[in-house]
Amino acid sequence: MRPHMLAAALLAGQAWMSAETPGKVLVGVYHWGGAASKSMTGGVAHIAALGGHAVRVTLSPTYYADYGLGRECYRDYSLAALARQADVAAALSYPGIELVMLTAYDGTGFGDCRTQRYVNPEFYTPENAAAMVREYSDLTLHLYQAYHDSGKAFIISNWEADNTVYCGAAYAYATDPKFRAECDAAYPALYNGNAGPWQTLEGLRRWLETRERGIADGRRRALAVGLAGIEVYQAPEISIVHALADAGLGSVLYDVLPGMGFEHVSYSSYESINQADPGGALARDIETIRAITSSPHVIIGEMGFARSQWGSEVIGRLQAVISAAAASGVRLIIHWQLFDQDPQNDFGLYDSQDQVTEAALYFQRVFAGAISTDTSRPIRRLPGSGARP
């Protein structure tokens, strides 16, 4: 695309995204491993072949295991190093993909694939914080260098922060006394010495804050050398709206994000969409998230329904959720996931043998604009950039 054409396209995209217009939502697909995964690029190619314009992928030192390529930890890992790796670079630049959401884990805080240093508040010494800022700055600068003037948007996020705090299952921690006791007993060993969830919540707050400083620094470095034409920003992801607060427990929604000033918040939405009325519950919870965080732009970072659990209801529930998100002014919704993981975790658009499912055919129609909710228009940027001043 020539420069004057690109500028016109970006301005048109900005105008379209400048208000929370109900009915306009971009639908993307999460590609994070799965039984049939052979590479990151191969999965993104599947999404593009269905007509999708948005993907979510993971940058982590566990890359080889995440994408079915091996078991070893990524040597000399950093976010920018992995982003330059051939398979990952091909995925991020895949033709037709206009928005990439990155579930990102830095080498500074998780470089050995085992120790979650980033959740320990004591980790954030001036030296460690500076190294983490530099890592996110370098990633951001790399994205500007590699994709400048492409019109792409990159969203840096995390996996389900509440589940990160509560032994991988925040809802169970809030509602199941046995699980809570087991998690509490193992907590220091699992969480790099943290005595309990309150320390991990503080560690997460510092992680998100430090990441934001790095992204802002990388953006400044890029603009200083004249690189523009893409967007890079952060959307912290939560996974619980009610259960933790109802049980008198700390949550990322109520105890981390307020006052941090993020324009964008991602919600992994199963607490809402597993209700009897998934669309109605989601609409109410989106408004709660906006009210508590003061973040105007809520992303649905995960939604989906396992065929083994929901059977013939899957397509109807997907439609209800997408329609509710669109009506609530959500601009991006990500389906979990591309490939089935196993017979019980069969959320995929493709099964464990890489065979198309009914959900894939549904999303193919969504991407083509054949579904009543208007999800077909590609998006080149989302409103805002990073945290509000």
pLDDT tens track for 217-251:
999 999 999 999 999 999 999 999 999 999 999 99
**DSSP helix, strand, coil percent of the chain (3-state; round to 5):** 50, 15, 40
Average pLDDT score, the chain: 90
What 3-state class would DSSP assign to 215? helix
d(CA 388, CA 262): 6
State which residues form the domain around 126. 24-367
d(CA 168, CA 186): 13
- Only one residue has tokens 């033709």, namely 95
Question: What pLDDT is stored for residue 385 in this prediction?
Answer: 38
Question: What pLDDT is stored for residue 13 in this prediction?
Answer: 34
Question: What pLDDT is stored for residue 370 in this prediction?
Answer: 74
* Whether residue 376 has pLDDT greater than 60: no
- Only one residue has tokens 């990155």, namely 102
Number of domains in the chain: 1
Say if 12 falls within a structural domain.
no
Question: In terms of DSSP bridges, do strands 153-157 and 99-104 run parallel, antiparallel, or are they unpaired?
Answer: parallel
CATH code (residue 120): 3.20.20.80
* Whether residue 8 has pLDDT greater than 60: no
Say if 188 falls within a structural domain.
yes
Say if 379 falls within a structural domain.
no
Say if 380 falls within a structural domain.
no
Say if 31 falls within a structural domain.
yes
**pLDDT bucket at 214, cuts 50 / 70 / 90:** very high
User: Which phi and psi angles does 373 have, rounded to 5°?
Assistant: -70, 130
Say if 389 falls within a structural domain.
no
Say if 18 falls within a structural domain.
no
**pLDDT bucket at 87, cuts 50 / 70 / 90:** very high
Say if 111 falls within a structural domain.
yes
